[in-house]
Amino acid sequence: MGIRRTAIDEASRRTQRQLDDLVRDLRDARLAAGLSQAAVAHAVHLSPQWVALLEKGNGATYVLQLARWGAAVGLDISLRAFPTGAPLRDAAQLRVLARSRAAIGEAWMWRTEVPVSSDPRDRRAFDAVISSGKWRVGLEVITRLTDAQAQTRAAILKQEAAGLDRLVLVLAQTRLNRLALAAGLPTLAPSFPAGPRSVLADLRAGRLPAANGIILI
């Protein structure tokens, strides 16, 4: 009985670690998509308070109970998240994408919702990929910059997987985003060293930016 109890406790701890990772992945994915807790809550018919509770790691006691139940009958409960496609796009993101196209112009060929790879198991997509000759530049729209590290991590991984020449984060031109961008520069600068003006000028002229960068639209 003592051995079984130890196995049940270990299963509970293992599932708690997986649950913590899952909640972090869900939160990071929401931030990377530029979605508010309210937008996610509306899409899944929950209250924003409930989404906030879940992101803090609360409200999932039943998952740990299932893990203990599984251990008691010789089953292992596993929790993981996998990319399954483009996230929810709200009207604000579509407006920013439209403004970015107007600002950059037609020196590039535009495609939206572009898959990261041809692998059917990888359902990630870029908001847009613009191309000119052999150059390809990915555009990722963020309507509100709230966690620079979390919101750029997924985008950089997508750029590496797709082999794009450059990646440009397109931020909505708001006071909050300007403040967040200034505060997040130490985190963002190593991966996005090119300045907004130079990136936008290069794109308007049909030139490949010198490096990854960020523009405000």
**Per-residue pLDDT at 125:** 86
Residue whose pair of structure tokens reads 């909505």 in the numeric block = 172
User: Does an H or E element contain 111, and which?
Assistant: strand 109-115
**Per-residue pLDDT at 73:** 82
pTM of this prediction? 0.68
Q: Torsion angle of alpha carbons 127, 86, 195, 207, nearest 10°? A: -30
Interval 3-57: pLDDT, tens: 566 878 887 788 888 888 888 888 877 776 667 888 888 888 888 888 888 888 7
**Per-residue pLDDT at 44:** 84
**Per-residue pLDDT at 76:** 81
Give, rounded to a whole angstrom, the gap between the first and last alpha carbons of the chain: 63
Question: CATH assignment of 91-216, given 3.40.1350, 2.60.40, 1.10.287, 3.30.2010?
Answer: 3.40.1350
Burial group, residue 12, by CB count within 10 angstroms (0-12, 13-18, 19+): middle
Q: Distance (Å, rounded) from C-alpha 147 to C-alpha 126?
A: 19
The residue ranges of DSSP E strands in 68-190, in sequence order, are: 109-115, 125-132, 135-142, 166-171
Residues of the chain with CATH 3.40.1350: 91-216
Residues of the chain with pLDDT under 50: 1
Residue at 38: amino acid letter: A
